[in-house]
Structure 1
Amino acid sequence: MRVITFGTFDVFHVGHVKILERAAALGTELIVGVSTDALNYSKKQRYPIYEQSQRAYIINSLKFVTEVFFEESLELKREYIKQHKADILVMGDDWLGKFDEFNDICKVVYLERTPSISTTEIIEIVKAI
């Protein structure tokens, strides 16, 4: 079973590791779409702390990740799922219901996020120091 997930993975933390590890456990291969710097800017009006090649390198170094690619557009999720022949799409439960439209081409699973940790919170804490 091929599992696909997407994310920015900026300021990599234990929450990222846990959700990716649990996603990998749902299948035999884990494919990860890392959001490009341009996509992140279009969503948040700020660039990630770490540029896309560094974030992809970190994700690709995880032993349970099979493949990494760059997600260039949110509108291309269906094409990415098909292109990578994914059987399961995994997203964090903060997106609950938002990707149900893909149930026609794969199983959609929402995993609980690690409580009390997020990249945004980490960045805000560092800014305040």
Structure 2
Amino acid sequence: MKKYKLGYTSGVFDLFHIGHLNILKKAKEHCDHLIVAVSTDELVQSYKNKTPVIPHVERMEIVKSITFVDEVVAQTNRDKVAAMEKHQFDVMFVGSDWKGNALFNETERIFNENGVDVVYFPYTSNTSSTLLTQVLTKIAQPN
């Protein structure tokens, strides 16, 4: 029996890479059922001021095809407390790059009051969608 019954994580999952795979695999090792919320294009545009390279529907299909993922939902906002209330998960998994972030400090406090844990996994520092985008942009630009 795993420590948690229902786990949750979220992300953009654009230009899917090993860091994405690692967090999903590690999350599933800790819970019986893993829900993954994939950010919509509109949500990403609203806080990152850029449109993902891969459209939302395709990113959802990619994540859905990962064996560690039990359920995929659209993430239309960044309100983790609302997600907790909707999905009733008992743990949220997130990359360590968010630890200490003001958004997550408040979220952790509310989760704690509701018996929900936050588990941070090490951020894959040598791979990111931002880094991949920069490399691809550089390759695509003529000299």
User: Percent identity of the aligned residues?
Assistant: 35
Q: Does 1:112 align with 2:122?
A: yes
Structure 1 residue 68 displacement after superposition: 0.5
Separation in structure 2 between the aligned mates of residue 38 and residue 103 of structure 1, nearest angstrom = 30
- TM-score norm. by structure 2 comes to 0.86
Structure 1 residue 83 displacement after superposition: 1.6
* Structure 2 alignment gaps of length 5 or more: none
Which residue is equivalent to 2:99? 96
Which residue is equivalent to 1:32? 36
**Per-residue CA distance 1:79-111 (angstroms, 9 max, x = gap):** 211221101011100100324232222111111
Separation in structure 2 between the aligned mates of residue 41 and residue 54 of structure 1, nearest angstrom = 17
**Higher Cα Rg, which structure:** 2
Separation in structure 2 between the aligned mates of residue 38 and residue 30 of structure 1, nearest angstrom = 24
Which residue is equivalent to 1:84? 87
Separation in structure 1 between the aligned mates of residue 112 and residue 21 of structure 2, nearest angstrom = 25
Please provide the CA RMSD for this pair. Answer: 1.0
Which residue is equivalent to 2:133? 123
**Per-residue CA distance 1:18-71 (angstroms, 9 max, x = gap):** 111001111101100100100000011110001111001000001110100011
Moved more, 90-99 or 35-44: 90-99
* Structure 1 alignment gaps of length 5 or more: none
* Matched pairs, number: 128
Separation in structure 2 between the aligned mates of residue 94 and residue 114 of structure 1, nearest angstrom = 9
Structure 1 residue 78 displacement after superposition: 1.1
Tell me the SS of whatever aligns to 2:9. Answer: strand
Separation in structure 1 between the aligned mates of residue 38 and residue 84 of structure 2, nearest angstrom = 14
- TM-score norm. by structure 1 comes to 0.94
Pick from 61, 80, 91 the counterpart of residue 57 of structure 1.
61
Separation in structure 2 between the aligned mates of residue 115 and residue 39 of structure 1, nearest angstrom = 24
Separation in structure 2 between the aligned mates of residue 65 and residue 21 of structure 1, nearest angstrom = 8
Pick from 68, 74, 78 the counterpart of residue 70 of structure 1.
74
